[in-house]
Chains A and B, each alone.
Chain A
Amino acid sequence: MRIILAGFGTVGQALAQVLHQDADRIVKAYGFRPQVTTIVDSQGSCSDDAGLDISLALKTKKDYGTVAKYPRKGRRNSDSAHIISNSEAEVVVETTPTNFKDAEPGLSNIKTALANGKHVVTTNKGPLALAMPALLELANHRKRQLRFSGTVGGGTPFLDFAAKCMPGERIIRVRGILNGTTNYILTRMETASLTFERALAEAQKKGYAEKDPTNDVEGLDTAAKIVIIANWVLKKRYSLRNLDITGITKVTQQKLKQAKTSNAKVKLIGRIEESSASIAPEQVPTADPICVPDTLNALTFTTEHAGDITLIGPGAGGERTASAIVRDLVSIRQEYAA
């Protein structure tokens, strides 16, 4: 299996690491050897049809900041969609930065890959948030797989749980906490009586929040995950513009105290109901299983016959996300054993 890595940051490098370390185990257990033949970052790319030397790529990235400096096979060309359409690789792993305005370059990368008959694994939520029904239709039309386990819950398999463990059951509603950064901020605001700004600064220092925290604190990241769950699990054709989204920037100490008096905490909750979906800070009773602290994620599926089922687990993180990508690669290989 030949792989193009579009994006070589935290997640892309973690994946390279895992593929490198676990190569022998993967061949033994699943009968295929994932070979990275192209890597693209924002400044350039490197390609080798016989498979790149992963440790060399990682070292080059570390030393020079771009794979363009990869010996002999590096170039200053970072036009990922163009590179994808001219490559013979079977799979594209898309890990470029998320943006919810036009979802580029991820959206073009995924469209080009599918249109050219390649399977896609993405951790980038932007393209799914804006165009998931369209991308699923394209994948289906081209008879290729579009996988995205790493977009929701990182290592905690919320998506696979719902899709694979509950066949025959009807899921009526979904609600939960899907963003570790905001959950951490709200937890610290409550336990240490910090203002929103102070809690955010702390989260940034600890590496939980990005320098530009907009996507997290404005609720967009949670919304994107809700879009993905709604399309994949509940077969609703939603995209970001169908949702009501409120972030946590207006959550005050007063609101937290108010919640406390009724034995509840304020949490950023994403929910999918029968005919709507929304994201907003809500009071959640402390006894509710989704009332989890710190960077944890939690999701309750309300089913027709089996009642409420809640999954709790760690959310994003480079290595966890890389493990979700490997899961996706394995299932692509299994469905297309050839």
Chain B
Amino acid sequence: MKFGGTSLANAPRMKNAARIILRYSPKNKIVVVASAVGETTDQLIQIAELAKKGNLQQARKLLSKIQASHLKIARMVAGRGETRELVSRLDQLNSELEQTVEGIAHLRELTSRSRDYLLSFGERLSTPILAATMSAMGLRSRALTGAEAGITTDDNFGEAKPLTEISYHQVHQRLDPLWGRRIIPVVTGFIAATVDGSITTLGRGGSDYTATLLAAALGADEIWIWTDVDGLMTADPRIVKNAIPLPYISFGEALELSYFGAKMMHPRALQPAGQKKIPVRIKNSSRPARSGTLVSASESSNGGKVVKAVSIIRDVGIVTVSGSGMMGAPGVAAKVFQTLGSNNVNVMMISQGSSEATISSVVANREVDRAVRALQLALMGQGYVDRIVAEKDACIIAVVGSGMKGTPGVAARIFTAVAKRKLNVRMVAQGSSEYNVSFVVSHKDGPEAVRAIHEEFNLGR
């Protein structure tokens, strides 16, 4: 079971999380993975930036805010006999944290290694509090760091890659004995360590990744991700009033949705679960009785629906390279993507005109100018490209469902539905997978396009 930051944001929620664990503990062997409390990680990032600039005063201010909020929760959740021990543990962590921040401020340097070390305090503070909350309810528990639980990574600080075989082996070695003594391990999400014990963070995928890694190591039956929504929705409920949670989706569909911006686990985090075919359940910690969304290896359980969900990525732009000379010139497309790649521009979607005279790429708004500059430098003035234009403020609409594979006419239905509402499709993705059709419309047309498709395929209730 993994609990996200919002599910642990204050004392009542912390208690709620412990109650959920208590409720399922008699019949299950549980490992708990905890994120940092509320917004702690973001605050730590801010502190790091302040310290790097030498602004120790501001950094300290923010630090004491973090310290105060953790102590406040701790005092409210711990059992009578245990408050003192918990508080002294937090005090110790807090003074380590202060020293780290001072170190960064003195050197005015923030290496990715020290950044990871600093960020680790978020989870290192939250886990003992959750463990104490559980003890107060009579559950035996033990707070462990990811490293103590056995997760070992390479030394790519900031986005470390787990050494899976070593990790799997060690997780067994470390956690089996705890279970044997009926102790529930409470493991820090997001953080791990290198072979020689330097703290690393798992980067994108974060605590979810920790949960799926532990589950894969232990051969878990299910992974439960406790969050603040009822599961994965058919569409963003702020756009579509009658959007509903999806009861089932496959790993393939989940990957598409997470790629296309749904509030969903990162593909990296899904991987260990997908590989070992361990179902992932996404549930709302404030409404635990609801069944949430089950992500599993099965593709059949789609309730007869061709399309499952429609998602939207906002704030993207289209960069189009064109030139009549491009038709005969081989390798222009390769050059475009190579140029964008080496300038760290992430291409989310592509399309090539059938005449081969244009190539369009969809990138984030903030990367549009960089993309244009890089492409101009690389391609203009050589005879075959004569125009590079950019349009900002568009959005990608992605329609996802494994039932689309082998069902003819889905794309036609999608585009007819959009056209009926007089929305202008700017670009259609090429080579979308068999699980999705995606296209681009202007920023203001985005929500209406989502509603059109949601309605056309009857996704709501």
Stretch at the interface among B55-63, B86-94, B164-172, B184-192: B164-172
What is the CB-to-nearest-CB distance from B148 to chain A, in angstroms, rounded to a whole number? 16
A138 at the interface (CB under 8 A from B): yes
A130 vs B166: C-alpha distance when bound (angstroms): 12
A131 vs B169: C-alpha distance when bound (angstroms): 7
Neighbouring A residues of B166 by C-beta, 8 Å: 134, 137-138, 141
In contact, A141 and B169 (Cβ under 8 angstroms): no
Interface residues of A (CB under 8 A from B): 115, 130-131, 133-134, 136-138, 141-142, 237
Summarize B's interface: helix, strand, loop or mixed: helix
* Residue of chain A at shortest CB distance from B164: A137
Q: Can you add 20 more A-B contacts, CB < 8 Å, to A134-B168, A138-B195, A141-B195?
A: A115-B195, A115-B196, A130-B169, A131-B169, A133-B165, A133-B169, A134-B169, A134-B170, A136-B165, A137-B163, A137-B164, A137-B165, A137-B166, A138-B163, A138-B166, A141-B154, A141-B163, A141-B166, A142-B195, A237-B165
A134 vs B165: C-alpha distance when bound (angstroms): 4
* Residue of chain B at shortest CB distance from A137: B165
The 9 closest A-B pairs by CB, nearest first: A134-B169, A133-B165, A137-B165, A134-B165, A134-B166, A115-B195, A131-B169, A137-B163, A138-B166
Interface residues of B (CB under 8 A from A): 154, 163-166, 168-170, 195-196
A134 vs B169: C-alpha distance when bound (angstroms): 7
Summarize A's interface: helix, strand, loop or mixed: helix
Give the one of B154, B169, B170, B195 with max A CB within 10 A. Answer: B169
Neighbouring A residues of B163 by C-beta, 8 Å: 137-138, 141
A138 vs B167: C-alpha distance when bound (angstroms): 10
Neighbouring B residues of A237 by C-beta, 8 Å: 165
Neighbouring A residues of B196 by C-beta, 8 Å: 115
A-B contact count (CB 8 A): 25
Neighbouring B residues of A131 by C-beta, 8 Å: 169
Neighbouring B residues of A141 by C-beta, 8 Å: 154, 163, 166, 195
A136 vs B166: C-alpha distance when bound (angstroms): 9
* Residue of chain A at shortest CB distance from B197: A115
A237 vs B164: C-alpha distance when bound (angstroms): 12
- For this complex, 18 residue pairs linking A to B, each with C-beta atoms less than 8 Å apart, are A115-B195, A115-B196, A131-B169, A133-B165, A133-B169, A134-B166, A134-B168, A134-B169, A134-B170, A137-B163, A137-B164, A137-B166, A138-B166, A138-B195, A141-B154, A141-B195, A142-B195, A237-B165
Neighbouring A residues of B164 by C-beta, 8 Å: 137
Neighbouring A residues of B165 by C-beta, 8 Å: 133-134, 136-137, 237
A134 vs B195: C-alpha distance when bound (angstroms): 12
Neighbouring B residues of A142 by C-beta, 8 Å: 195
Neighbouring B residues of A136 by C-beta, 8 Å: 165
* Residue of chain B at shortest CB distance from A138: B166
What is the CB-to-nearest-CB distance from A122 to chain B, in angstroms, rounded to a whole number? 16
What is the CB-to-nearest-CB distance from A33 to chain B, in angstroms, rounded to a whole number? 30
* Residue of chain A at shortest CB distance from B195: A115
A130 vs B170: C-alpha distance when bound (angstroms): 11
Give the one of A138, A141, A237 with max B CB within 10 A. Answer: A141
Give the one of B164, B166, B168, B196 with max A CB within 10 A. Answer: B166
Neighbouring B residues of A134 by C-beta, 8 Å: 165-166, 168-170
Neighbouring B residues of A138 by C-beta, 8 Å: 163, 166, 195
Neighbouring A residues of B169 by C-beta, 8 Å: 130-131, 133-134
A115 vs B193: C-alpha distance when bound (angstroms): 13
What is the CB-to-nearest-CB distance from A131 to chain B, in angstroms, rounded to a whole number? 5
Give the one of B154, B165, B196 with max A CB within 10 A. Answer: B165
What is the CB-to-nearest-CB distance from A163 to chain B, in angstroms, rounded to a whole number? 19
Neighbouring A residues of B195 by C-beta, 8 Å: 115, 138, 141-142
What is the CB-to-nearest-CB distance from B198 to chain A, in angstroms, rounded to a whole number? 12
* Residue of chain B at shortest CB distance from A133: B165
A181 vs B196: C-alpha distance when bound (angstroms): 41
A136 vs B165: C-alpha distance when bound (angstroms): 9
Neighbouring B residues of A115 by C-beta, 8 Å: 195-196
A115 vs B197: C-alpha distance when bound (angstroms): 10
A134 vs B196: C-alpha distance when bound (angstroms): 15
Give the one of A130, A133, A137, A237 with max B CB within 10 A. Answer: A137
* Residue of chain A at shortest CB distance from B153: A141
What is the CB-to-nearest-CB distance from A219 to chain B, in angstroms, rounded to a whole number? 23
Neighbouring B residues of A133 by C-beta, 8 Å: 165, 169
* Residue of chain B at shortest CB distance from A134: B169
* Residue of chain B at shortest CB distance from A141: B163
* Residue of chain B at shortest CB distance from A131: B169
A142 vs B164: C-alpha distance when bound (angstroms): 14
Give the one of B164, B170, B195, B196 with max A CB within 10 A. Answer: B195
What is the CB-to-nearest-CB distance from B4 to chain A, in angstroms, rounded to a whole number? 30
* Residue of chain A at shortest CB distance from B152: A138
Neighbouring A residues of B170 by C-beta, 8 Å: 134
A138 vs B170: C-alpha distance when bound (angstroms): 12
A136 vs B163: C-alpha distance when bound (angstroms): 11
* Residue of chain A at shortest CB distance from B170: A134
What is the CB-to-nearest-CB distance from A227 to chain B, in angstroms, rounded to a whole number? 13
A94 vs B41: C-alpha distance when bound (angstroms): 44
A169 vs B189: C-alpha distance when bound (angstroms): 44
What is the CB-to-nearest-CB distance from B350 to chain A, in angstroms, rounded to a whole number? 35
* Residue of chain A at shortest CB distance from B169: A134
What is the CB-to-nearest-CB distance from A144 to chain B, in angstroms, rounded to a whole number? 11
What is the CB-to-nearest-CB distance from A70 to chain B, in angstroms, rounded to a whole number? 31
What is the CB-to-nearest-CB distance from A173 to chain B, in angstroms, rounded to a whole number? 24
What is the CB-to-nearest-CB distance from B171 to chain A, in angstroms, rounded to a whole number? 11
A141 vs B165: C-alpha distance when bound (angstroms): 11
What is the CB-to-nearest-CB distance from A119 to chain B, in angstroms, rounded to a whole number? 15
What is the CB-to-nearest-CB distance from B42 to chain A, in angstroms, rounded to a whole number? 32
* Residue of chain B at shortest CB distance from A136: B165
A99 vs B165: C-alpha distance when bound (angstroms): 21
A237 vs B276: C-alpha distance when bound (angstroms): 14
Neighbouring A residues of B168 by C-beta, 8 Å: 134
What is the CB-to-nearest-CB distance from A230 to chain B, in angstroms, rounded to a whole number? 14
A153 vs B163: C-alpha distance when bound (angstroms): 31
Neighbouring B residues of A137 by C-beta, 8 Å: 163-166
A233 vs B168: C-alpha distance when bound (angstroms): 22
A237 vs B195: C-alpha distance when bound (angstroms): 21
A237 vs B169: C-alpha distance when bound (angstroms): 12
What is the CB-to-nearest-CB distance from A194 to chain B, in angstroms, rounded to a whole number? 41
A312 vs B136: C-alpha distance when bound (angstroms): 65
What is the CB-to-nearest-CB distance from A168 to chain B, in angstroms, rounded to a whole number? 26
What is the CB-to-nearest-CB distance from A201 to chain B, in angstroms, rounded to a whole number? 38
A81 vs B89: C-alpha distance when bound (angstroms): 31
What is the CB-to-nearest-CB distance from B184 to chain A, in angstroms, rounded to a whole number? 24
A252 vs B314: C-alpha distance when bound (angstroms): 75
What is the CB-to-nearest-CB distance from A72 to chain B, in angstroms, rounded to a whole number? 32
A136 vs B168: C-alpha distance when bound (angstroms): 13
A134 vs B152: C-alpha distance when bound (angstroms): 11
